[in-house]
Structure 1
């Protein structure tokens, strides 16, 4: 399956994290069909595993970036789906150098269009674009 499907699965796991406060590999192993992971290949499962194992230690840094780039929106007020999408995108931008930033942003916008409110993609695009314009990492 495609990296897009793997991103959707990773976003669902990060959504779960935003609700429960835990990011658990068991979710992926016990309910792969519910997460859309039942048809992912080895490379995409490695991508998801990278996020599952790496994100918890980077959450504070990533949330700090979201907070400092979301004008007049506190982290608690951001919709959980949007938060999961932003966390995923920023994890890719910061720690997955093999993925072009433009691809990450485009995929984040598509996830927001598919899973979030009607205009959430504009918020996601604006926050990520603003972060990169204002000193985000160069790739």
Structure 2
């Protein structure tokens, strides 16, 4: 099972996560979108896709605060594979900082990164979902 964990304040990351869900489904990959999570089962082998915006001064969105705090307790996530998708605006010094922080916390918890985080820049002329889907399609083999 692939869990797409969404961190959003305005709904953009949720929309992108829904597009990621559709893409994975088109390739017969079983996934679900989760927008409220505080911790994970340490026993389950699962793949995590974190799709998050950055809020305020580089913080994770409010709906992921408890999850971030739990990750800071250094759980052992060696049974988990993960990927991170960050949405941000490169005109800010904290561009995709929430995604970068969660990527680091997951790595520190021994989770296995499948590929380099994907970042979508609001300053781009392209829609965030178009940027993410294009880059994610090249990584679909890592989900198998």
What is the TM-score normalised by the length of structure 1? 0.31
* Bigger proportion of residues as strand: 2
What is the TM-score normalised by the length of structure 2? 0.30
